Amino acid sequence: ALHIIFFINQLWGLAMVSTRLMTELRDVRLEGEYCDSIPVELPPEELEVDCSEVAAALTRKLFSAAFCTVAMWMSAFVSYRLSENLQDRSSSEEDGRLVELVLRVKAELQESATEFEEFICKRLDDVEEVVLPNALPNPRPGGGR
């Protein structure tokens, strides 16, 4: 259960990193448009943004966002696979216990059926001993009717 929570947390982190990346790219694009729109004769001290750093900032932001995205994807994948493996392990342990239970019940049923069969055979033998001598016609003395 904790692995699923970790996986969900990683997906949330991935969404946050992606959102942050898009925001940073938008800001860099706006800064680039700002730098492109200012007149050349305006001194750099009067600018709100250092236009010489805009391209370097874009590279840094793209690299850090890509790194964070890859790290989040990898950790989400690892947590997902770990969760699946733990679930498979618990399922196979449960399956093993079920197979043991079925085999034990089968053996008990076979033993009970054998005991019941012996009981029935013994009772039938007892019934035959009582019924068969009475069922045979008694020969009459004299051989006639």
**Tell me: the pLDDT tens digits for 89-110?**
767 777 777 788 888 888 888 8
Q: Binning pLDDT at 50, 70 and 90, where does residue 29 land?
A: confident
- Rounded to the nearest angstrom, the gap between the alpha carbon of residue 84 and the centroid of all alpha carbons in its chain is 4
For the entire predicted model, the pTM comes to 0.46
Burial of residue 7, with CB atoms counted within 10 A of its CB: 0-12 exposed, 13-18 middle, 19 or more buried: buried
Residue 22: which of 57, 76, 61, 75 has the closest Cα? Answer: 61
How far is the C-alpha of 8 from the C-alpha of 79, rounded, in Å? Answer: 9
